[in-house]
Amino acid sequence: MKVIVMGAGVIGVTTAYYLAKQGASVTVLDRQPGPGLETSYANAGELSYGMTSPWAAPGIPMKAVKWMFMKRRPLFIWPLISPTMWKWGYDMVRNCNEESYRLNKGRMVRISNYSRDVMPDLIAETGIEYDGREQGTLQLFRTAKQLKDSKADQDILSEYDSPFEVLDSAGCIAVEPALAEVRSKFVGGLRLTADRTGDCRIFTTALAEKCTEMGVEFQYGTNIRAIAVENGRIAGVDTEIAGRQTADAYVCALGSYAAGLLKHTGIKLPVYPVKGYSVTLPVTDDAYAPQSTIMDETHKVAITRLGDRIRVAGTAEIAGYSNRLGPHATNTVRHVISDLFPRGGDLSKAEGWTGLRPMTPDGTPVLGASRYDNLFLNTGHGTLGWTMACGSGRAVADVVLGKTPEISFDGLTAERYA
Ligand SMILES: Cc1cc2nc3c(=O)[nH]c(=O)nc-3n(C[C@H](O)[C@H](O)[C@H](O)COP(=O)(O)OP(=O)(O)OC[C@H]3O[C@@H](n4cnc5c(N)ncnc54)[C@H](O)[C@@H]3O)c2cc1C
C-alpha cells in the first residue's frame, strides 16, 4: 500500500515509521528543509504521561483572568478579529467543567499511556539517542496553597494508576540537588515518577534517518497547497513544486496547519495555534543544573535537562498564526531559570524559539478515520505531541493499514465534533 504522510513533525515521522515497519510504501511531504523544524523543534522535552490533562479544566476561566494580570503572565490573549479564534475559545470554556474534564482526560491518558508503553520498543529497535532520561517530573510549589490544592490532582493520578510522590522541600532537593541553593523559594512538590524527558527534535531527526534507511521517501521543501477531493475520495495532494502527488491513502499530520488545509475538503477541525516560547542554554556546572523536568507551578514554566543543555519553556499566547519572536517574548522563561537555577546555565548563550501548539478545545488530539475512506488524521496534540507521538503514530498506522489498533478510538476521531 502506498501512503502519503503530510507533515514531517514528530507526529508525521512516527506515523511514517510505524507504516513502513509494517510494509507500507511511504512518502512524507513537508515544506521545511528537514524534519521537526516547526512545533517539534524546541518544546519543553517532557514525556509527561503523568501530567496528561486537558487545559480546559474546572476553574480555569477564573484562573485565566488572574494569569492575565500577573507581572510575568503565563497567558496572553490578543483580541484579534477572528471568529475562528473566539469560537475555539468559547468551545474551550464549555469544556471547563467536571464532566468534560474527566471525559477528555480519560481519552488523553489512553493515548499517553499507550505511547509510554510502545516508545521503549521503538527506541530498542532503532537505537535512537535523543538526550533521554527517566527521572520523572517535579511539579514545584512555591506556596502552601499550591501544595494543598494538588490533592485534587493526586486523587486523579491515583485513579489513573499514574505513580507519584508528594515531597516536602527536603524531598525536592533530594531529587534535584541544585534546588538547595534556592530552598526558601518553594515549599514542596509533586513528583510524577514515571515521566521521562528527551529532545523531540533530535528524536524526530534520528527517526527520519531510520525511516529513510527503511525506504521512506522524504520530500522536503514541498509546500502543500491543497488536498484534492474528487468523486468523494481524496484524489491527491497538490504541491507547489512537485504538482499532484497520489497514493492509496493519506495521513494528515500538519500540526497547527491541518485545519486550514482540511477546511476545503469539508472537514472542520477546531485545531487552533497556541503559541509558546522556549530558550535553550548550555549547562555551566552540573552541580547547579536541573537533572530532569521541574515544572514551576506559579509561572507554568517547565525546565528540562537535555544532555549538556537546559530547555526552559512555557507561556500560552493566543495570537493567531504569528511566528514572531519579539525581543521580550522569552522574558518569563528567562526569569524562571535564573530564579531557580541561577548558576546552572549560561543565559547569555540562550537560544530563543517560538512554536505553535496545535490545540483542540477539548485537549484531545484528532486521530484515525475521516469522512473520506482514504484520508486519516493525526493532529491536534496541543501541549502533548511529544508525549503522545509514538502511541498515536502506531495506532493511526494500524488504522490506515486496516488492522485493529491496540487502543480504542472511541472519542478520538473527528466524529466527536460532528
Ligand atoms: C513551548 C512549547 C512547549 C511544548 N512542550 C511540550 C512537552 O514538553 N511535551 C510534549 O509532549 N509536547 C510539548 N509541546 C507540544 C509539541 O511540541 C507539539 O504537540 C508537537 O510538536 C506537534 O507535532 P506535529 O508533528 O503535530 O506538528 P509540527 O511539528 O508542527 O509538524 C507539522 C509539520 O507540517 C508541516 N506543514 C505544515 N503546513 C504545511 C504545508 N502547507 N505544506 C507542507 N508542510 C506543511 C510543517 O512544516 C511541520 O513540519 C510543546 C509545544 C510548545 C510550543
pLDDT at residue 343, rounded to an integer:
96
Tens digit of each residue's pLDDT (9 = 90 or more) over 307-351: 999 999 999 999 899 999 988 889 999 999 999 999 999 999 999
**Cα distance between residue 355 and residue 367, in whole Å:** 21
| The CATH number, out of the four listed (3.40.50.2300, 3.40.50.10490, 3.30.9.10, 2.40.50.140), of the domain defined by the range 47-83+132-197+272-359 | 3.30.9.10
Tens digit of each residue's pLDDT (9 = 90 or more) over 94-129: 999 999 999 999 999 999 999 999 999 999 999 999
Closest by CA to 367, choosing from 321, 418, 408, is: 408
Q: Which atom of ligand 1 is nearest to the CA of 385?
A: 19
Does ligand 1 have an atom closer than 6 angstroms to the CB of 195? no
Does ligand 1 have an atom closer than 6 angstroms to the CB of 274? no
| 396, three cell numbers | 493511526
**Cα distance between residue 55 and residue 265, in whole Å:** 29
* CB-based burial label for 18 (10 Å; 0-12, 13-18, 19+): buried
Chain centre to alpha carbon of residue 240 = 28
b/e map 288-327, b = 16+ CB within 10 Å: bbbbbbbbbbbbbbbbbbbeebbbbbbbbbbbeeeeeeee
Length of the chain counted residue by residue:
418
Does ligand 1 have an atom closer than 6 angstroms to the CB of 38? yes
Does ligand 1 have an atom closer than 6 angstroms to the CB of 357? yes
C-alpha 353 – ligand 1 centre gap (Å): 13
Chain centre to alpha carbon of residue 245 = 28
Ranges of each domain in the chain: 2-40+202-271+363-417, 47-83+132-197+272-359
Regions of the chain short of the pLDDT cut 70: none
**Cα distance between residue 283 and residue 383, in whole Å:** 25
Does ligand 1 have an atom closer than 6 angstroms to the CB of 255? yes
C-alpha 360 – ligand 1 centre gap (Å): 13
Do the beta carbons of residue 48 and residue 195 sit within 8 Å?
yes
Q: Which atom of ligand 1 is nearest to the CA of 384?
A: 11
**Cα distance between residue 52 and residue 213, in whole Å:** 33
3-state secondary structure the chain: CEEEEECCCHHHHHHHHHHHHCCCEEEEECCCCCCCCCCCCCCCCEECCCCCCCCCCCCHHHHHHHHHCCCCCCEEECCCCCHHHHHHHHHHHHCCCHHHHHHHHHHHHHHHHHHHHHHHHHHHHHCCCCCCECCCEEEEECCHHHHHHHHHHHHHHHHCCCCEEEEEHHHHHHHCHHHHHHHHHCCEEEEECCCEECCHHHHHHHHHHHHHHCCCEEECCCCEEEEEEECCEEEEEEECCCEEECCCEEEECCHHHHHHHHHCCCCCCCCEEEEEEEEEEEECCHHHCCCCEEEECCCCEEEEEECCEEEEEEEEEECCCCCCCCCCCCHHHHHHHHHHCCCCECHHHCEEEEEEEEECCCCCCEEEECCCCCEEEEECCHHHHHHHHHHHHHHHHHHHCCCCCCCCCCCCCHHHHC
* Residue whose C-alpha cell is 555551566: 284
Q: Which residues pair with 52 in a beta bridge?
A: none
Choosing from 109, 254, 261, 265 the residue with most ligand 1 atoms within 8 A of its CB, the one to mutate for a pocket test is 254
C-alpha 201 – ligand 1 centre gap (Å): 10
| The CATH number, out of the four listed (2.40.30.10, 3.40.980.10, 3.40.80.10, 3.50.50.60), of the domain defined by the range 2-40+202-271+363-417 | 3.50.50.60
Integer angstrom CA distances of residue 395 from 211, 227, 369, 409: 17, 23, 11, 9
C-alpha 51 – ligand 1 centre gap (Å): 19
Does ligand 1 have an atom closer than 6 angstroms to the CB of 74? no
**Cα distance between residue 105 and residue 322, in whole Å:** 29
C-alpha 152 – ligand 1 centre gap (Å): 30
Integer angstrom CA distances of residue 53 from 145, 269, 365: 20, 20, 12
What is the widest separation between alpha-carbon atoms in the chain? 67
- Torsion sign (Cα): 70, 136, 112, 127: positive
pLDDT at residue 180, rounded to an integer:
98
Do the beta carbons of residue 115 and residue 392 sit within 8 Å?
yes
